[in-house]
Amino acid sequence: MGTAAHHRAMASAFVSAIVSLTVAGMGFWFTVRNTKRVNERQDRLLRINRQLSALYGPMLTLASATESAWHSFLLKHDLESVSLSTAPGDVDVDRNDWVIWVRAVFMPLNRRLFDVILGGGDLLIEDEMPPVLLAFSAHVSSWEATIARWDDQDFDELTAAIGHPGRSLLRYAEHGYAVLKKQQNQLIAHLIQGGETA
């Protein structure tokens, strides 16, 4: 009888050890899995923060400033749009005033936005460069040629050879910023619920 009791005690100890090891193993697995998920969320949050601070935030600010400057220019000249043909009598605004606005207001904003786009290509939401950003970049580059002519006192051309993409640029920036802010807020909420911060 002593042997049977001894076997039962050993079996009970063995079962207890197996249960303890299983619970410990499961706890370890859940900890590793949770840590991995938290780390992935923190990495994703860091990328989103960078997308917002280095690309979509500045893009939205500069596109909005450009839009506001354009509307201010139109309002100042009591216009709904601008015609800049060089035929006598066809220019809606004073050429010198237009050149000043382009050099002092529009092109500094355009150049800064162009630099933001060039420097933030790896931060785009999309896998490929969006057509609106390609169109804007071509527009800015073509303005550089026009301004170079102005520097040589050649004012035969008063606009860029390639037009501005218009409000689609601002809409793109607004959309990208809004999408990223929503994702950022969701990730922060998940991290706070999990007791973690990035």
Please state, in angstroms and rounded to a whole number, the distance separating the CA atoms of residues 116 and 11. 69
Please state, in angstroms and rounded to a whole number, the distance separating the CA atoms of residues 8 and 16. 12
Tokens of 43: 């990495």
Give 162's DSSP letter. Answer: S
* Of the listed ranges 42-51, 78-87, 112-121, 148-157, the one predicted with least confidence: 78-87
* 84-125 confidence digits (pLDDT tens): 544 444 557 788 999 999 999 999 999 999 999 999 999 999
Provide the pLDDT confidence category of residue 39 given band limits of 50, 70 and 90.
confident
Q: Which of 176, 180, 70, 95 is nearest to 133 (CA)?
A: 176
Measured at the alpha carbon of residue 156, what is the angle toward residues 155 and 158, in degrees to the nearest 5? 70
**pTM of the predicted model, to two decimals?**
0.78
* 115-152 confidence digits (pLDDT tens): 999 999 999 999 999 999 999 999 999 999 999 999 99
**Domain residue ranges of the chain, discontinuous segments joined by +:** 41-193
Q: Is 153 left (phi over 0), alpha (psi -120 to 50) or beta?
A: left
Q: How far is C-alpha 8 from the geometric centre of its chain's CA atoms?
A: 67
Q: Which of 107, 123, 135, 141 is nearest to 47 (CA)?
A: 123
